[in-house]
Amino acid sequence: MYGDKRYLLGRRDGGSDGLLFLGRYLALDGSSGSPVFLDVLKPHAILICGKRGYGKSYTMGTIIEEFARLPAGIRNNFSVIVVDTMGIFTCMGSPNLAEKKYLESEGLSPEGLNIKIFAPGIHTGRYDDVDALTFKIPSSSLSPYDYCELLGVDPLSPHGAVLAGAICSRNKFSIEDLIAEINSSDATDDVRSSLNGLLTMISAWDIFSADADYSQIMEPGSVNIIDLSGYGHEPGIKSCIVASLSRALYDIRVEARRKENTGYRRTPLVWMFIDEAHMFMDTGAGNVLINEWLRQGRQPGLSLVLATQRPSALGRDVLSQADMIICHRLTLRDDIEALEKARPSYVKEPVNEALSRLGAIRGAAVIVDDTTESYHVVKVRPRVSLHGGGEPIVRNVD
Ligand SMILES: Nc1ncnc2c1ncn2[C@@H]1O[C@H](COP(=O)(O)OP(=O)(O)OP(=O)(O)O)[C@@H](O)[C@H]1O
């Protein structure tokens, strides 16, 4: 189906195991050429960027699909976790029937994938045809600083001090335990009542639990979509969830890695996908993602795929730590300059020239691969499962 010649990104030595089919080489005349594959035998940090509507989340979905389609022997090494801020990956359980012909031209056919969808308790009833599982984070997985950020409280204020005291007085707690602890403290009435109100508000978000853990999303071979789109107007809670998740998964994998040195792998390697990643970079979540996942994630086997419309908002660290950048059409000067500053010496062409080769083709991307020290122009393959990110189409309803 793929022919003889192929391009393998993210791996120097060949081999046919652990490959994701990403798409095909895109020639200047728009015709497609040899297939392009991504390695998953080693951990990777991948940044997908591009202007609105040119294929970031589609490409992310294609990579997720390829994990779901890996043979079980390889797939069971991984747990795939998708932080879905807009609820656009939740329809991957349905086939992409609209692209049947296009898929057939690639030797593929429409296919709904075996995915698990998680959502906060108050949002699990939003799905027509799937039973979403309830997602909770352990209340104790957030630091006093995270809580202060979430509640808009200055950590150095009396409110911050009382809150930190209540959090640090127990190893495991529910939000109700924190409220009780604060009510029985010798804080002033003013501090007690405002913390009470704020904690009651976050308790209503139905996401915290004293007993939650992440075992459900760490099943070998599983593809887990965590739909946070119900928290549309509360970016603070989304970043707390990402902070909790990324910190806990880091700890789980560091612990597992120690045991793997002497024995069998019981805890899967993690590939975490985060769309709209710029939302998280200036928060506690961004610290964990940059310092623990991007800088130290290789050894514990953590791979991160970030997508953003605004690479300039991610900061230099993210651009320099990514070992692969998949860049769809970009037109904002700030974003092009940010990538230009991070351009490795083996990319001979200035970024704006390389990007001009893409034209306005949706799904076309320049891929810079640090492992093979090369860059390529690729058209990402069509999706076999339904993509939820397209614009709604206006129809004449007369
Ligand atoms: N590789 C591709 N093959 C075919 N169509 C594609 C491809 N990539 C993108 N498209 C088309 O472009 C549309 C927009 O892509 P996508 O939803 O990924 O945009 P985006 O870059 O994530 O935008 P936003 O920033 O608004 O989320 C898709 O709905 C799809 O119709």
Counting residues of the chain whose pLDDT is more than 90, the rounded percentage is 78
| Cα 390 to averaged position of ligand 1 atoms, centre (Å) | 6
The 3-state DSSP class for residue 366 equals strand
| Cα 126 to averaged position of ligand 1 atoms, centre (Å) | 24
In this predicted model, which residue has the larger pLDDT, 171 or 307? Answer: 307
pLDDT bracket for residue 126 (50, 70, 90): confident
pLDDT in tens, 88-113: 999 999 999 988 998 998 889 999 99
CA distance 118 to 359: 37
For 377, other C-beta atoms within 10 Å of its C-beta total 19
* 371 has a pLDDT exceeding 70: yes
Query: What is the reported pLDDT for 398?
Result: 74
Query: What is the reported pLDDT for 174?
Result: 95
Query: What is the reported pLDDT for 79?
Result: 97
Q: Is the CB of 85 under 6 A from ligand 1?
A: no
Torsion over CA: 279, 285, 290, 294 (sign): negative
In this predicted model, which residue has the larger pLDDT, 219 or 99? Answer: 219
Q: Are 132 and 226 spatial neighbours (Cβ–Cβ below 8 Å)?
A: no
| Cα 176 to averaged position of ligand 1 atoms, centre (Å) | 43
Mean pLDDT throughout 159-185? 94
Closest atom of ligand 1 relative to the 51 alpha carbon: 21
Q: Is the CB of 362 under 6 A from ligand 1?
A: yes
Query: Pairing between strand 19-26 and 32-39?
Result: antiparallel
Mean pLDDT throughout 59-87? 96
Three-state secondary structure readout of 166-234: HHHCCCCCCHHHHHHHHHCCCCCHHHHHHHHHHHHHHHCCCCEECCCCCHHHHCCCCEEEEECHHHCCC
Query: What is the reported pLDDT for 125?
Result: 79
Query: What is the reported pLDDT for 1?
Result: 57
Query: What is the reported pLDDT for 266?
Result: 83
Class of domain 7-129+215-380: alpha beta
pLDDT in tens, 229-239: 998 888 889 99
- Model ipTM value: 0.97
Query: What is the reported pLDDT for 58?
Result: 97
